[in-house]
Structure 1
């Protein structure tokens, strides 16, 4: 009998071992995928349970956390610490001033132009408590783009940081003419027509509003501006449901309630505001907020504030690995780094140099709910696309034309899925759980982002415009961004916008802007092929001055290529593919090339020697 029992146990054990061995060989990431799927299910159940208790929106979650952990540190900013209760009360004060002094109410659109500071959050939350829809404005953009932002999102009020009023001075008369009320987070202001806030906030009540407005979960929460394929920034609508989903990001990446999360990226980005601040609220964690990223201060701050998690974009990590060695880079307590855009070679060096940090590379979009997280130790992918991943998110990779990047359709008009190992364009199903609210004031571009009748009549998918590779192990790799946009210094650059602004100079006839790869850098550096007007020469100093006045630094073209004409397609669209491929090498390009020498505030001839210095890293961009 004992022998028979022993035989059964041995047989079962051998069978289980063989099954486990088969699983490890054929589907090695089964358990990682399954555990991640269970984690998403648990997050979903927690959100549903919270909503049943009346805690529905992003702001509801914050107020609920402030009630549960009032004395917990929420924002650490330099030598200043604000608890959850402090931020709740101060945001109530802002809400009271905006309603009583400005007459703001539910449904009003308000633009917010501020750098990273605690009052960014307090103003944002105060306006949201009134039911206002806040538009986060990139403080780097200049006059024309800034006015476009107001017009596209329909903002009738602007809240500006005290340190940004002076750069805005030239636009104040125009804003007044457009009846846009301007508030400044200061106690005084030398400019006419600007209403001060802080003197009034100090006198306002910190009690919650008695008539707290309720909102529809499917309605719009914020406007965030994204550069796309159509020139000027587009105001992407971010719904309440999307904001709630974003709050779970840090938790999914392994951040805990006892963590101190270091946020150095600008708050107008979804990464910092919804994923970062929202993630801290979800967990009841502490945010260590930095006004501006500093590579030389980064690890010192991590030690000083006992940072245990931080957010990144790929460019940030590259800056860190290029810094000289400091003792703090090994003396920190950082466990988790969560972000996107981390190149595999930088990833490897980062892990080697800075110790055991769990890197959680991810992918997401402002205007859509599709997202990936790489929860494995594999370096390079942005996430996975296996069976369990498909259960939690409706996405596909479509085969596309290599020249136009339009999805390939069959004779019946249906799209074709890309094979594993083949680069395809990522699309996401537009459903009740993953809606696309479109771009404010731009129905044409909103419709252009949608693909209809993809696999069957009546279905609708959001076209991300991003090329991905789904490999045979179910890992997903980001390959490129199609259209007239490229990424540089962690920002999206619209080639159409840059072309229009440069093209306004009187010595230029035509301008074609695109991005080129530079060894050692994330994304692509700006380059412009230009045609000079008859009888005109290139005036590099005037061009540089024009760029300083009109565009943020990350949008400036580093390289110029002088052409006699611009190649276009049959539909007169500028061709960029060949230009991108040829890059900026004097050995490849036979036409005159120029490089932006910032020390001279001028474009200088790009010689082979200068080119080699750029490639080797002797000259930094």
Structure 2
């Protein structure tokens, strides 16, 4: 990095850090001011200016505030006391944000249920928060019905949007309630330490966990990212990510609203609809996550894809292999990549746009942002302890687990950790006695490397990285190498067990355009990857299964393995004798299983 670049980077990070801290630090110092109070002030300041916009409905700042007051009255009238939970299953729309704000004003906690879940998984999410009431959009009643037999008894059921036999209808009831603020005598005494929301982890490696999101964290997320993006009242943020996750429903929406800007809400992401929405609704910022950018890049040219007024794309998960192509094709002036998790206390920003980096902590900021990368044992899935019993910090360039110290200090506002509804799940994320006796650190579960300038680079999720031929294989790095091959639209890399071998062999599920040129693909992976990292088995699929936030699902693929009898998908095998990918026949599979064909 040259002198001019170094100076520019330092200035970008200094300005970004100062903006962010100036917005977040006061939240920690004013414990009685919550987002409920913030919206009252926004309603006075911005009145009838559009706040939440969608094809279904539009709410001005005043209407948003008043609609929430109606829900607060409903909650108070139906027994919601401070700390009581209400579960919400509703698609993206402005009403969604009014529901949970109203419940919060009554002192309640809204559990934001994933609209893609069904059956036991959905019931699990409800049961772990023990709600008094469950609100379900009528269009989702059939999906909810698959979970009912697994639910613990107790919650009262409410439908929203249309009448349904056996259900109480909440929206028509709420319509008849006053929209004035709750009288002082009916308002619970809330502080920033009180719970506001339960937001669930994505559940890519097991059942979702309900993260405790208190009033401090709600405001902290909103104001920190509003400052990082330098949002103003003239901005309009496009949100097509689920409102039941923090990225769409708290971070993006709140970043705009707290600055007096507006939010356009799409029910779900559509690559065909995306640029029409951006241009037709005059959006200036959009929020991305996971593979959304890759989907757009793989889509046909859209007549409006460069006719927008966007000034910024903000999100996490933009992979280095498509970063520049994405920014160039769609003429995005600036990309703000960041790293964070709903429940986590490690937050990084890539303020200067370093391609591939998830953010940086300059030397001068290390005392304020207490984050380290520690040596990690992939097989044991645990950080390495030295002879003194403490963890070992990785030198620049070495891959390890990123951890962040847990402290409750207004001068270090990002370092808090509120845990989960499940105390055992909370305990599994905390390490103690890491660098000194009695310290407590949050385990991110992410493998990172940090360079000498303090830039962090995401490598893999713990559990995704696997060992093969005595080496650690990063699924994300293999996916990046594979994805740039012509015709490959998406790649999901994982490791599978092979009898009579140590470790796991690399397997990749591919979505390709047309027929895959196996010979050219083999040449490509040999050039791009060391021998131990080259995929041993290929699986061609029509689409890759993902979560609602575009995180690739691997658990089922790992379980299915590579038996040709277990899938209709074409399978190919890197034959060690032929040094070429060949169809994986039942006979070849039998030879591998029996150990007659050594990998």
Normalised by the shorter chain, which TM-score bucket?
A: 0.7 to 0.9
Correspondence 1:392-431 to 2 at 5 A? 392-431=368-407
Correspondence 1:103-182 to 2 at 5 A? 103-172=79-148, 175=151, 178-182=153-157
Equivalent position of 1:307 in the other structure: 283
Render the CA deviation track for 1:413-437: whole Å, top value 9, x for unaligned: 0111110111121111111143322
Correspondence 1:32-431 to 2 at 5 A? 32-44=12-24, 47=27, 51=30, 56-78=33-55, 80-100=57-77, 102-172=78-148, 175=151, 178-190=153-165, 192=166, 194-210=167-183, 211-227=186-202, 231-248=206-223, 249-431=225-407
Task: Tell me how far 1:189 sits from its aligned partner.
Answer: 0.9
Q: Distance in 1 between matches of 2:489 and 2:153?
A: 40
Correspondence 1:481-500 to 2 at 5 A? 481-483=461-463
Q: Does 1:438 align with 2:419?
A: yes
Equivalent position of 2:456 in the other structure: 476
Q: Distance in 2 between matches of 1:605 and 1:106?
A: 52
Task: Tell me how far 1:365 sits from its aligned partner.
Answer: 1.0
C-alpha contact 2:339 2:349 (8 A) present in aligned 1 = yes
Residue 472 to residue 332, structure 1, CA distance change in 2 (3 Å): same
Task: Tell me how far 1:356 sits from its aligned partner.
Answer: 3.9
Task: Tell me how far 1:412 sits from its aligned partner.
Answer: 1.2
Equivalent position of 1:503 in the other structure: none
Q: Distance in 1 between matches of 2:28 and 2:343?
A: 23
Q: Does 1:578 align with 2:504?
A: yes
C-alpha contact 1:595 1:604 (8 A) present in aligned 2 = no
Render the CA deviation track for 1:300-333: whole Å, top value 9, x for unaligned: 1111110111100131111111121122111110
Task: Tell me how far 1:369 sits from its aligned partner.
Answer: 2.3
Q: Distance in 2 between matches of 1:256 and 1:447?
A: 39
Residue 594 to residue 351, structure 1, CA distance change in 2 (3 Å): closer
Match of 1:467 among 425, 444, 447: 447
Q: Distance in 1 between matches of 2:347 and 2:100?
A: 25
Render the CA deviation track for 1:530-549: whole Å, top value 9, x for unaligned: xxxxxxxxxxxxxxxxxxxx
Residue 323 to residue 200, structure 1, CA distance change in 2 (3 Å): same
Residue 309 to residue 217, structure 1, CA distance change in 2 (3 Å): same
Equivalent position of 2:469 in the other structure: none
TM-score normalised over the length of structure 2: 0.78
Residue 230 to residue 82, structure 1, CA distance change in 2 (3 Å): closer
Consecutive unaligned residues of structure 1, counting only runs of 5 or more, are 1-20, 487-513, 530-560, 568-574, 615-621
Task: Tell me how far 1:484 sits from its aligned partner.
Answer: 6.5
C-alpha contact 2:495 2:504 (8 A) present in aligned 1 = no
Q: Distance in 1 between matches of 2:99 and 2:570?
A: 47
C-alpha contact 2:375 2:400 (8 A) present in aligned 1 = yes
Q: Distance in 1 between matches of 2:316 and 2:417?
A: 22
Task: Tell me how far 1:272 sits from its aligned partner.
Answer: 0.8
Residue 173 to residue 463, structure 1, CA distance change in 2 (3 Å): closer
Residue 99 to residue 26, structure 1, CA distance change in 2 (3 Å): closer
Higher alpha-carbon deviation: 373-382 or 217-226? 217-226
Equivalent position SS for 2:348:
strand
Task: Tell me how far 1:450 sits from its aligned partner.
Answer: 0.9
Q: Distance in 1 between matches of 2:539 and 2:397?
A: 39
C-alpha contact 2:222 2:254 (8 A) present in aligned 1 = yes
C-alpha contact 1:423 1:468 (8 A) present in aligned 2 = yes
Residue 412 to residue 168, structure 1, CA distance change in 2 (3 Å): same
Q: Distance in 1 between matches of 2:573 and 2:536?
A: 16
C-alpha contact 2:28 2:216 (8 A) present in aligned 1 = no
C-alpha contact 1:385 1:470 (8 A) present in aligned 2 = no
Render the CA deviation track for 1:180-210: whole Å, top value 9, x for unaligned: 21111124113x2x21112211211111111
Q: Distance in 2 between matches of 1:408 and 1:231?
A: 25
Residue 73 to residue 598, structure 1, CA distance change in 2 (3 Å): closer
Q: Distance in 2 between matches of 1:594 and 1:356?
A: 34
Equivalent position of 1:536 in the other structure: none
TM-score normalised over the length of structure 1: 0.76
C-alpha contact 2:83 2:195 (8 A) present in aligned 1 = no
Equivalent position of 2:437 in the other structure: 457
Higher alpha-carbon deviation: 219-228 or 310-319? 219-228
Residue 526 to residue 467, structure 1, CA distance change in 2 (3 Å): closer
Task: Tell me how far 1:612 sits from its aligned partner.
Answer: 8.4
Q: Distance in 1 between matches of 2:438 and 2:7?
A: 35
Q: Distance in 2 between matches of 1:29 and 1:613?
A: 49
Residue 157 to residue 421, structure 1, CA distance change in 2 (3 Å): same
Equivalent position of 2:11 in the other structure: 31
Higher alpha-carbon deviation: 177-186 or 238-247? 177-186
Residue 422 to residue 597, structure 1, CA distance change in 2 (3 Å): closer
Equivalent position of 1:519 in the other structure: 483
Residue 583 to residue 294, structure 1, CA distance change in 2 (3 Å): closer
C-alpha contact 1:397 1:417 (8 A) present in aligned 2 = yes
Equivalent position of 1:511 in the other structure: none
Equivalent position of 1:544 in the other structure: none
Q: Distance in 2 between matches of 1:368 and 1:93?
A: 33
Residue 229 to residue 199, structure 1, CA distance change in 2 (3 Å): closer
Render the CA deviation track for 1:356-379: whole Å, top value 9, x for unaligned: 421100110111222111110321
Q: Distance in 1 between matches of 2:261 and 2:543?
A: 42
